A = this chain, B = another copy of it.
Amino acid sequence: MIHSPVDIAEKLSLFSEHWSPKTVARLNDYEIKVVKVQGEFTWHFHYDTDELFLVTNGQLTIQRRDGNVMLEPGQLFVVPRGVEHCPITDGEVHAVLIEPTGVVNTGDAGGSLTAAPDNSLA
């Protein structure tokens, strides 16, 4: 087989750090990333793009100023551009993120949780 699919769980098994999305595939000018998260991230927004979260393990809460969204495995949510949000978890959560190439994970906020832009497992 000269073309192989991307196995999401297998890609997630290749690293252990949190809040550091890894690109596993590209779709036009978008990146498909996998990420492990635990605890609370930082409040931020992306002024020019929506952001898709798809949970594959654990329970992820996306805090918004107007209410929380709770995601179980097999559930997805799109945070609209410009909407301030802050992911938070009780335990470790595995998720797929989809957003345009070059998006900075901390958006407008910056800070120590800002991930390198070229983290790739693709």
Contact = CB atoms under 8 A, between A and B. Distances in A.
The A contact surface, by secondary structure, is: strand
A1 interface: yes
A76 B6 contact: yes
B77 A27 contact: no
A52 B52 CA distance: 14
Interface stretch (A36-44, A60-68, A112-120): A60-68
B74 A56 contact: yes
A105 B28 CA distance: 17
Interface in A1-20: 1-9
Contacts of A76: 5-6, 8, 25, 32
A49 interface: yes
A26 B71 CA distance: 17
A78 interface: yes
Interface of A: 1-9, 25-28, 30, 32, 49-52, 56, 64, 66-72, 74-78, 81, 98-100
